[in-house]
């Protein structure tokens, strides 16, 4: 009988938070087992499908409806795994479906570019976004504002979680 990794998750936020925690613990690049990570990925996709159409209220107070898109979810998970492999002293934050990288990134800027990351001058950070993602509304706020609006999970590249500063 296999482990049910997302059995206790009933919201999109819980599923995504649990996935990020499990990925940090079980990813093969971090000493985990490939077969276990593949099972976690498969269960993650099934758990997200269960949440399709679910309404939630963001920390900005606005109500959002989650729409499951398997291709986008896979794209984000794969990009996050690649970015977390880069040896750097930086925070990596998943905000919505975008990935933001803040910290000492100058030594690895060519690696980040090769992964499809783009430098954002005003926020002084790198970002990666899914291929079909568009910025519908230009937000003038910082990363804290985006995190409050879309939800965020921040990882330290030294394997310690941190809060978005």
Structure confidence by residue, pLDDT tens digits, 15-66: 888 888 888 888 777 788 889 988 988 898 888 888 877 776 655 566 767 7
The residue range of the domain holding 121 is: 12-156
Residue 5 lies in a domain: no
Name the strand (E) or helix (H) holding 145: helix 143-150
pTM attached to this predicted model = 0.66
pLDDT in tens, 72-92: 888 998 998 899 889 998 999
Q: What is the largest CA-CA distance in the chain?
A: 50
3 falls within a domain: no
- 78 part of a folded domain: yes
* Residue 88 near residue 103, CB atoms below 8 Å: yes
The total of structural domains in the chain comes to 1
**What is the pLDDT at residue 115?**
97
Q: What pLDDT was estimated at residue 162? A: 45
In this predicted structure, what is the pLDDT of residue 137?
A: 61
């Amino acid at each position: 009988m296999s482990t049910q990794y997302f059995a206790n998750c009933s919201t999109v936020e819980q599923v995504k938070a649990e996935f990020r925690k499990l990925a940090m613990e079980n990813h093969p690049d971090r000493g985990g087992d490939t077969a276990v990570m593949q099972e976690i990925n498969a269960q993650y996709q099934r758990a997200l499908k269960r949440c399709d159409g679910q309404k939630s209220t963001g920390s900005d107070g606005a109500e959002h409806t989650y729409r499951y898109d398997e291709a986008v979810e896979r794209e984000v998970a794969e990009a996050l795994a690649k970015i977390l492999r880069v040896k750097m002293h930086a925070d990596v934050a998943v905000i919505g479906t975008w990935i933001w990288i803040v910290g000492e990134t100058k030594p690895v800027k060519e690696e980040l570019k090769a992964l499809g990351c783009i430098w954002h001058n005003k926020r002084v950070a790198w970002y990666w976004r899914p291929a079909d993602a568009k910025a519908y509304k230009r937000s003038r706020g910082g990363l804290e504002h985006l995190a409050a609006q879309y939800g965020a999970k921040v990882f330290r590249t030294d394997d310690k979680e941190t809060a978005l500063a």
